[in-house]
Amino acid sequence: MTGIRGLARHLNISIGTVSRALNGKADVNAETRRRVLEAATALGYSPNQSGRSLRNGKTNLIGVLIPTSREKTLLDFGFAEVLDGIRRVFEEHGHDLAVFLYAGGDDPFLHMRRIAERRLADGLVIADTLRTDPRIDYLLEKEIPFVAFGRSRSGGSHQWVDIDFPGAVTQAVDRLVMQGHRRIGLVLTDKELHFLGLVRDAFKRAMKSSGLHFESELIQRQSHGEDSGYLGAEKLLALPEPPTAILTQNGNVAVGLYRRLNDAGLRPGIDVSVISLIGDVQSQFLSPALTSFQTDLWEIGAQLGQALMVEVRGGPGVPRPAPTQLLMPMSISPGESDGRAALRAAPRRKQ
């Protein structure tokens, strides 16, 4: 690979002339431009992106901030589809993706601020939004282009794309009520993510609108991952009147829930109905097959990319359209883990 200095030496012309020819400046004659472009192709010219970034303040990178841990990362097969949707949009505009991982126990605000202050990317995609998220307030204050994968109470008017989890909760409760269930539980992790609060509130509303008795013990928030499902199911089964159906947060939680039901001698889909709000890779081998919700993850990524592209291409004084604030619908994917309550025996617990 040859840089601009090597190209100038090869042609025996100035670096400035080579630079202007490569950038299509009008003050370079056609013959010189032709020689420069042909030599650049023949010698494998590679522009110094760092130098360009220093000159024009652009990196042509879009940063995606992803929390990770031993047990779980957003960078699973599902989120890979989201990333591909984002990548495709920005590839069309000459930008590349840079993934910045941080430990789940780290402060996401401090991690994001380090990335922003070092100007490692022209724009940022943040996920795992909190109910009150200081990252959003900071990015708005500093006028740094960003889009949030998930809503928040912070920031007011800003770009976000989210999944309609409350709508999925309503669909799930309606489905279970139609199957004859009157006692329904909900198992979530104990993370303080905004979408979990939305799920909890939507569950309460759906129970009330269906005329079902609600008590706080029907919502279990325990630990995280499979442990959440196992411990949450344990608490629900210990109630004086255990639920005949349980909603879970995702496939990882459902794995733990299945395990606890099995320990209690209960069969998903026969003794206790189970529906997951997210169908993911962690649940694909569960038996019986898990009833869950699906959404177009690639399209979510594309929408995130398009929303952020508006911010990245804009600048001071450039009029912007109203911010993208989009809810992506979910549809149920029937499995074998739910069914009519009248067909199952009353839940029993091992002593």
Q: pLDDT per residue over 193-216, tens digit each? A: 999 999 999 999 999 999 998 999
- Decide which of 151 and 27 is more confident: 151
The kind and range of the H/E element at 181 are none
Axis-axis angle for helices 15-22, 4-11 (nearest 10): 110
Residue 276: what pLDDT? 96
Residue 66: what pLDDT? 86
The pLDDT of residue 324 is above 90: no
The kind and range of the H/E element at 93 are none
Where b means 16+ CB within 10 Å and e means fewer, 91-127 reads: eeeebebeebebebeeebbebbbebbeeeebbbbbbb
Q: Please name the residue ranges forming H helices in 192-245.
A: 194-209, 225-237
Helices and strands counted in the chain (H then E): 12, 12
The first and second tokens of residue 129, run together, are 């939004």
Residue 249: DSSP 8-state: S
Taking the CA atoms of 250, 289, 178 and 256 in sequence, report the sign of the dihedral they define: negative
CB 167 within 8 A of CB 135: no
Q: How far apart are CA 89 and CA 206, in angstroms?
A: 37
- Decide which of 5 and 62 is more confident: 62
- Decide which of 310 and 106 is more confident: 310
Residue 54: what pLDDT? 41
**Parallel, antiparallel or unpaired: strands 146-149 and 160-163:** parallel
Tell me: the pLDDT tens digits for 141-172? 998 999 999 999 998 789 999 999 999 999 99
Strand order in the sheet with 245-248: 219-221, 184-188, 245-248, 273-276, 291-294, 331-333
**Parallel, antiparallel or unpaired: strands 291-294 and 331-333:** antiparallel
Nearest alpha carbon to residue 326 among 290, 299, 348: 299
The first and second tokens of residue 230, run together, are 């196992």
The pLDDT of residue 115 is above 60: yes
Residue 235: what pLDDT? 97
Residues 164-193: what's their mean pLDDT? Answer: 95
- Decide which of 169 and 4 is more confident: 169
Beta bridge partners of 226: none
pTM for this entry: 0.79
- To the nearest whole percent, how much of the chain has pLDDT over 70? 88
Q: How far apart are CA 266 and CA 300, in angstroms?
A: 37
Tell me: the pLDDT tens digits for 57-107? 577 899 999 887 655 544 455 788 899 999 999 888 888 899 998 876 778
Calculate Rg over the CA atoms of the chain: 26
The pLDDT of residue 121 is above 70: yes
Residues 292-307: what's their mean pLDDT? Answer: 94
CB 141 within 8 A of CB 113: no
Nearest alpha carbon to residue 153 among 137, 164, 142, 139: 137
Tell me: the pLDDT tens digits for 211-227? 998 999 999 998 878 89
